[in-house]
Structure 1
Amino acid sequence: MSTLALPLRGWIDNSPWRHSHGVATCLLALLAMLLPAAAFAQGWPAERQTGIFICHANFSLLDYEPLLNQLGQHEREITAALHLPRADEPIHLFLFDSSRTYRGYMAKHFPELPARRAMYIKNGGPGMVFAYLDNAFETDVRHESTHAVLHSVLPVVPLWLDEGLAEYFEAAPADRLHQNPHMTPVKWEVRLTGVTSVARLDTLQELTDLGTDEYRHAWAWVHFMLHGPREAREELLAYLADLESHTPTPPLSVRLARRLPNLDRRLAEHFKSWKN
């Protein structure tokens, strides 16, 4: 996707298992600087608000009107699909014209963070998304913005579910059901090797635990829960409702296994029967 030899995307928030004192201190110190005119002496050359997203770019946004217009609906699409309350806090998007500008900005202001192709950051204040123009730009923006929406309405999200939902909603709306690039590999895997169990995914707590297989399989479980058996969708929505209301809950993998015996087989059947 990207021509750079950078890791995929990433995010930092203030959830208990993600918290880093050094990163938190850095973010709190820089928050005032970042909003809205950080790094550019004359302010950001282009700024625009679309829905809850406030975009700051060092290039003209005129060529990206379709993306920005769709982004204005992005929060509504996510919260409606997951039966979550509407997000009402602003989310800031910082968009750069090149990988060089982006990397220089991140290295200057966030030296403690790993190099990632795009980044979502939240630590007590507004969510912030960082991305740069390349052939994966629109996908990256939707992916990281999904993290931002989820963390604006939920106190915590398990890592695999957070990434699985972001992989799902990163596709353009017309492509989410049938045209996600993960679809064909997963349809082969359920026939040949299987996919990572949801119980295994529930044990992953660091971004370094997720490789390309885990991202793809997290997407597969999200697709299964949203478009597979009714019981799977009900359990996902009930689980998210419990998270939103701070209600103690077993892991989602445990809840799914209770509702759907032979869970791995049901996932395989879902993709074997799914028509592209």
Structure 2
Amino acid sequence: MDWKYTKGFNEIEDLLKRVKHIELLCESDVKIDEISSIEQEYIKHKIKLFELYNTTCKILDRLENGESHPKLLTKIKLEDLISQMKIEIRELRKICNKYSSSLHINQINKDDNKYIDVENYEKEFIEITKSRFNKLFVDSSSKITHSTTLNDFLLKPGSLNKVEHREICDSDKTKINEWSLENRRIDEEIKEVGNMALRIADKATQLGHEAKAQNINIEEIKNTTEFATTDIFNLNRKVQEVIGTNNNTTFCCRITLVTLVFISVSLIIVLVFKKLI
């Protein structure tokens, strides 16, 4: 900054002039920084666009040279690359439209093929790329899927089955009828499987309710069995005490007591089974 001593520096008018001069210098620096930032953003999107275009061209070149690739995945990747290229072009156009007065785009060497005018990017990058893409993936000569379809029959070269005539030969009609019958059979099988699944679901629900109810019965039977086992054990012990300790017990009496034990056990078992049923 060229600071020169001037007479009357301390005067207010002269001081205000110098302040104004300083403000202009500061604004100029800020403006230069802003322009530099805009141009950096512009260059960043342009470089990204060129990288996407180069990647897309390499993939298309390999496909056009007959290299084997999984076509469906390659198609998806190319579509994504083309979409990204459109986004970068849109960003470049936004910058140009908003800051065209600030950008030094017009100073770019037009003779250099690397620096195509932004207005031509859509044509140079997108249209040409889409044209190559369509030849590989959209044209009937290079279908991604090789399964025979009705459209393939109608477009069969050298046949009378042209789309405009809507005519189908007998062999094709036979094939279509076979497909129709097969589709009906498959539909019936699918319907039967669905009905079977519904029946299984209903049965499972029913068994669930029964299992829940049986769970309660099983708990009751378990408790009853435990009590019955205790009663049988006590009865058997009493009989053994009577038979073993009383010398006056006759043979018939012993037989009678043993019989009573068996009868009691049988009755308890019958009651348990009745509960189960």
Q: TM-score, normalised by structure 2?
A: 0.22
Higher RCO (C-alpha under 8 Å, 6+ residues apart): 1
Relative to its length, the structure with more helix (as a share) is 2
